[in-house]
Homo-oligomer: A and B are copies of this chain.
Amino acid sequence: MPGRNLRARMAAALAIAVASSGGSSFAEEGLWTFDAFPSEAVRQSYGVDVDKPFLDRLRLGSGRLSSGCSAGFVSAEGLIQTNHHCVLDCIQQLTPSGVDPLVTPVLAPKLEDEQSCPGLTMDVLQEITDVTDEMAAATNGKEGEAFGSARDAARDAIEERCLAGEADRVCEVVSLYQGGQYKLYRYRTFDDLRMVLGVEGDVGSFGGDPDNFNFPRYALDVAFLRAWHDDRPVATPDHFRWRSDPIEEGELLFVAGSPGETSRLWTVQRIAFVRDQTAPFWLTLWAELRGRLTVFATQGPEESRIASQALYDVENWFKGWLGERMAIVPPEVMADLAAREKELRRRIDADPKLAAATKGAFEALEQIEAEHSRTFYPFRLVEDGMWGNSDALDYGRTLLRAAEDAGRDDKGEWRAEPLEVDAWVTDEDRVEPRLDELRLGFWLSKVREYLTTDDPLVRRILGDESPEGLAARVVKDTKLGDAAMRRKLVDGGARAVMESDDPMLVFLRGFDSEARALDEHYAKVIVAGREREYGRIARARFALDGDRVYPDATGTPRVSYGTAAGWTEPSGRVVPYATRFEGLSRRATGAIPYKLAPLWEKALPSLDPKVILNVATTNDTVGGNSGSPVLDREGRVVGAMFDGNFASLGGTYFFDPEQNRSVIVAATAVEEALLRVYRLERIVAELHK
**Contact residues of A with B, CB < 8 Å?**
207, 209-211, 214, 216, 272, 275-277, 280, 283-285, 287-296, 299, 318, 322, 325, 329, 331, 374, 438, 442, 448-449, 452-454, 464-466, 469, 571, 587, 589-594
Contact = CB atoms under 8 A, between A and B. Distances in A.
A165 B284 CA distance: 53
B291 A591 contact: no
B592 A466 contact: yes
A210 B448 contact: yes
Contacts of A322: 284
Nearest to A592: B466
Nearest to A593: B466
Contact of A288 (B210, B291, B296, B331): B291
A210 B292 contact: no
A294 B374 CA distance: 31
A406 B272 CA distance: 51
Contacts of A295: 291-292, 295-296, 438
Nearest to A575: B454
Given A291-B293, A374-B571, A466-B591, 5 more contacts: A275-B276, A295-B295, A299-B299, A466-B593, A466-B594
B325 A280 contact: yes
Contact of A211 (B325, B329, B453): B453
Contacts of A283: 280, 283-284, 287
Given A280-B280, A280-B283, A453 B291 contact: no
A465 B591 contact: yes
A284 B322 CA distance: 10
A291 B438 CA distance: 11
Contact of A291 (B276, B290, B329, B594): B290
Contacts of A288: 287-288, 290-291, 294
A293 B211 CA distance: 25
A283 B452 CA distance: 18
Contact of A464 (B287, B292, B466, B590): B590
Nearest to A378: B571
A175 to B, nearest CB: 32
Interface centre among A214, A295, A571, A589 (most CB of B within 10 A): A295
22 contacts: A211-B453, A216-B454, A280-B283, A284-B284, A284-B322, A287-B288, A287-B291, A288-B291, A288-B294, A290-B291, A291-B291, A291-B295, A291-B442, A292-B295, A295-B295, A295-B438, A453-B587, A464-B590, A465-B589, A466-B593, A466-B594, A469-B592
A209 to B, nearest CB: 8
A207 B453 contact: yes
B292 A331 contact: no
Contacts of A438: 295
A350 B165 CA distance: 81
Contacts of A214: 452-454
A440 to B, nearest CB: 14
Contacts of A318: 284
Contacts of A289: 291
A569 B461 CA distance: 21
8 pairs of A and B residues whose beta carbons are closest in the complex: A291-B291, A464-B589, A287-B287, A466-B591, A291-B292, A287-B288, A288-B291, A295-B295
Contacts of A587: 453
Nearest to A321: B284
Contacts of A466: 591-594
A593 B467 CA distance: 11
Contacts of A454: 214, 216
B276 A329 contact: yes
Given A284-B287, A292-B292, A591 B210 contact: no
Contacts of A277: 329
A275 B331 CA distance: 12
A453 B215 CA distance: 10
Contacts of A207: 453
Nearest to A455: B573
Nearest to A211: B453
A331 B299 contact: no
A258 B278 CA distance: 37
Contacts of A592: 466, 469
A442 B295 CA distance: 10
Contacts of A275: 276
Contacts of A464: 589-591
A465 B209 CA distance: 15
A225 to B, nearest CB: 31
A587 B280 CA distance: 31
Contacts of A571: 374
B210 A453 contact: yes
A349 B293 CA distance: 56
A593 B593 CA distance: 39
B331 A272 contact: yes
Nearest to A462: B591
